[in-house]
Amino acid sequence: MTPGQIMAMEIQRVADQEGVSRAAAGLFVRLAQQAVAERGRFVVALAGGSTPRDVYRRLATSPLRERVPWEKIEFFWGDERPVPADHADSNYRMAWESFLSSVPVAAEQIHRMHGERADLEEAASEYEREIGEVFGVPTHSEPPSFDLILLGMGADGHTASLFPGSGALSVVDRWVVESSGPESGRRLTLTLPVLNRARCVCFLVSGRAKAKTLAAVIEGPRAPERLPSQAVAPSEGRLVWIFDRAAAAHLVHRTTV
């Protein structure tokens, strides 16, 4: 990718964070309905952060709540911090409190990353096995295709827990690994092979604090070691970016669909 070139992606620029959550919730509902109609279920990997929280709350309230085939959804996570399920920093806890605790899903449909384990390597292997069991494939095979993976983007360009310069960026033979960043500590994360096999990956970005990074990721030269979000490019699926006007402040080219 050369400077000024926009990657092959679907871009939705909206007015504000509320617009981001509205657009993402609508996409979630449409993809869930489509997946259930075509394959009998919808498998999603959830993201943490304030913007996804607003998406989840919107999904759990009318009129969207009644349009979601809750009993046909399998819920996974893209990454997790090294904290127990009830910790304030837990991505699982955020999703549970935002919507999973108030919608009709069974415990068997919720697949939490155990980031609190002392042995994160074993926790990663266990999560790989759980993914394989749900999809009915061995963990040494090609990664399965999630119907939707929701992602955020950090001000440093990281996504999930794939941080700039992390060895996790070069992993090609694992689905889940331990990762770390200079300020993040140890975490669990899905790997790029999994992200890039998804039927749809959707980035949610809001706020001026991420504007320079967003412009660099979308319009700048390719440098995925420095900007891991650039490494997300589904081989056969859709890549969707939904961001607000503030986050788009440094973009040069037309960014509407």
pTM: 0.95
Question: Which architecture, in CATH terms, is 10-244?
Answer: 3-Layer(aba) Sandwich (3.40)
Enter the tokens of residue 175: 């689905």
213 vs 201: CA distance, rounded Å: 19
- Reported as a single tens digit per residue, the pLDDT across 72-95 is 999 999 999 999 999 999 999 999
Question: HEC states along 136-200?
Answer: CCCCCCCCCCCCEEEECCCCCCCECCECCCCHHHHCCCCCEEEEEECCCEEEEEECHHHHCCCCE
The stretch 112-125 carries a mean pLDDT of: 96
Q: How confident is the model at residue 204 (pLDDT cuts 50, 70, 90)?
A: very high
What are the boundaries of each domain within the chain? Answer: 10-244
Closest residue by Cα to residue 191 from 165, 171, 167:
171
